Chain A
Amino acid sequence: MRRRSPSLQVLRWALIALAMAWSAIPILLVVLSSFKEASQIFEVPFTLIFRPTLENYRTLWTARPEFFRALGSSAIVTLGAVLTAICASTLAGYVYARYRNRLLSGTAFGMLAARMLPPIIITVPLFPILNVLRMNDTHLLLVLLYAAFYVSLGTWIMRSFVANLPIELEEAAAVDGAGLIAILGRVVLPLVVPGIITVAIFVVVFAWNEYVFALIFTTRDARTAPVVIGEMLGTVEGVQWGVIFAAATVQLLPVVTLVIALQRYLVSGLTAGAVKQ
């Protein structure tokens, strides 16, 4: 193992610290502000020392209880979208990685082109049609919609992960009598876990925070948390930033926790020397 010179190590840690500071400071400000009294949030000059208060959280709990119900909706939608997107992307990614013909290439690249139209404009035809189908304000609709938005990226990511696996592994399993499902489930799946985790994180973060489509397509039953936050921003009587930042903090926690939990699966299942020459 090449020895790492100490000065390079120091540089490395300095850069990591810089990256962490850059990422964290605005977020810390949001979180800190959620514990400030309303008059101190945007005060001049900015103060780091203040007396913390739970007032904003209390207000969120009492005045905006629908936020917590909305978090439940967000959870259902996010979970559903992740599962759907992962299943669809992994299956498709496998096919695109292992097989090749004109039709497959066409659809693979068509998938990319399909994502290039700004999504907001497709709400124009979707709203009336989904209304007729009685799908407005349902969790199912958001699940399918969010999954549809990320299967392109998901498929391409899974494709590249599967493509990196030596085909010998699958061939060996086939020789041992394993069918397609067994090959997928027992050979391929465990080895592409970092890809799945990557796609999962993208879909989770997207679905959890998505605002525009949730706003347009939900009314009450399936209203998600970002829509409630959005309504708090569009108020007529003056925006309560403290409460909004409290809501943003509450919304942030599950995702951060999830990411910490999933992080260790982001290592490749393919250990060095798995395939002997």
Chain B
Amino acid sequence: MQGRRGILKALVAAVAAAVAGPFAATRAYAADRLTVIGHAVHKAAATTGAGGDVTAPWRAKQGVEVEWLTFGVEAANERAFKEASLAEGSADIVFILDRYTGPQFAGLFEDLRAWQANDPIPDFAEIPAGMLAAHTFGGKLTAIPFRHATHGLHYNTEFFAEKGVTEPPKTVVEAVALAEKLTFKRADGVQVYGLVMNFDDPATPIDWIRAFGGDFITADYKVVIDQPAAMRGVTALVDLYKKGVLPKNSMNLKTEDVTTFMQQGRAAMTNNPFNRYINYNDPKASKYPGKIAVVALPLGVDGKATPAKTSVWAMAIPRNGRNKERAWSFVKLLSQPDSTIAETLNGNGPVRPSAYEDAKVKALIPYAAAEKQALASARLVVPGFPNSAKAMDIFIEELGNAMLGTKDPQTAMSDVKKRVQPLLPA
């Protein structure tokens, strides 16, 4: 018993030291560091890969270290807002995704128009207006776009060949018909679904609704989901579900599940971000490496390009940051045309369309041309407004009702309008 007591005492002492040590030297603000809160992809885009470390020369010149604090997607945004809300924050730059921000948070960040006017990012006009609009509220530019993820149509070329289809669908009507054709049982008895979609993100169904000429909420905040054009899209989806072209458990599929479906060859097509191409064709994880191609979404019923959903990660400077000049300098660095190309080579989705023209990029990314084409007509899921998250949840909920059959599609979408209308800005 005595020996154990001795060990116990030693343990307590060790833990106390370990615990007290860090506490004594806690996160005092370090003047020699630039602290960035974001996702691992941002750090990777800026520092590792074929494009090299974009930040190296800047760091040498400024004589500061860059501290990247990375989190999961939702966690990164949460932490960004939390830090920005403090009286005194310790983050110089935060990366924000458009679906998490809104006009109600504009006050937390610097208005970057002033900074841009003073010390401009070169070739700023190249950045698509839509992307800037995603982070502009009441005229105030809260963040500079850094990365986009735009939807394309991925399809399994092997399944296509099996069914005698040589080309991806050109129009949405073709796509729907093709999806039905490509729902079959494989030789080993596994069911293949013509189309698979994740419903944790309203963007995936809204792509199709837009292809039919409809929309959920227009840019001037009108709910049009119950209008005939949108209803065509909704009923098409509900139909596909009823016919078993969409998997039965579609309503709770997340992006990773769709990835698994495509990798395991359980689905023929999906609309998901272009860069999923890498996952779907990953020889280690996929049973169909090199067989899954991606093109821009099929043309809409009006013959024009379907506005693919895009999401935009952007860099914001919290108002409570302590070294905003240095922060802006870093933002400028990452946004320069040559940096953008390097970041693209590192796996980023560039916000500058010209990056797709670079020879190295074209060599590295097979779908560069298609992504550039899609980018030209891409659109946000919903325009930014305070209750947008709630509105999106309501849409998914009622779409679920329509698909399950508990409500007929028109009633469901009319209910969406009724419930979302009061949430829109006056």
Contact = CB atoms under 8 A, between A and B. Distances in A.
- The 7 A-B residue pairs with the shortest CB-CB distance, nearest first, are A234-B72, A38-B285, A238-B279, A140-B23, A134-B26, A239-B256, A139-B19
Interface in B242-300: 256, 259-260, 263-264, 266, 275-276, 278-279, 282, 284-287
A42 B72 contact: no
Interface in B285-319: 285-287
A219 B67 CA distance: 11
B284 A237 contact: no
Nearest to A84: B15
Interface string B67-82: 1011111110011001
Contact of B19 (A55, A128, A143, A233): A143
A134 B27 contact: yes
Interface string B211-255: 000000000000000000000000000000000000000000000
Contacts of B69: 219-220
B15 A235 contact: no
B279 A236 contact: no
A234 B23 contact: no
B394 to A, nearest CB: 23
Given A38-B284, A44-B264, A221-B27, A236 B41 contact: yes
Contacts of B376: none
Interface stretch (A75-83, A106-114, A173-181, A198-206): A75-83
Nearest to A239: B256
Nearest to A236: B41
A39 B264 CA distance: 7
B15 A79 contact: yes
Nearest to A144: B19
Contacts, number: 112
Chain B interface size band reads 35 or more
Contacts of A168: none
Contacts of A135: 23, 26
A135 B276 CA distance: 40
A235 B86 contact: no
Contacts of A234: 39, 71-75
Contact of A137 (B1, B27, B74): B27
Interface of B: 1, 11-12, 15-16, 18-20, 22-23, 26-28, 39-41, 67, 69-75, 78-79, 82, 85-87, 149, 190, 256, 259-260, 263-264, 266, 275-276, 278-279, 282, 284-287, 347
A138 B264 CA distance: 43
A231 interface: yes
Contacts of B285: 38-39, 238, 240
B264 A80 contact: no
Contacts of A143: 15, 19
B19 A237 contact: no
Contacts of B71: 215, 231, 234
A221 B82 contact: no
Nearest to B76: A234
A132 interface: yes
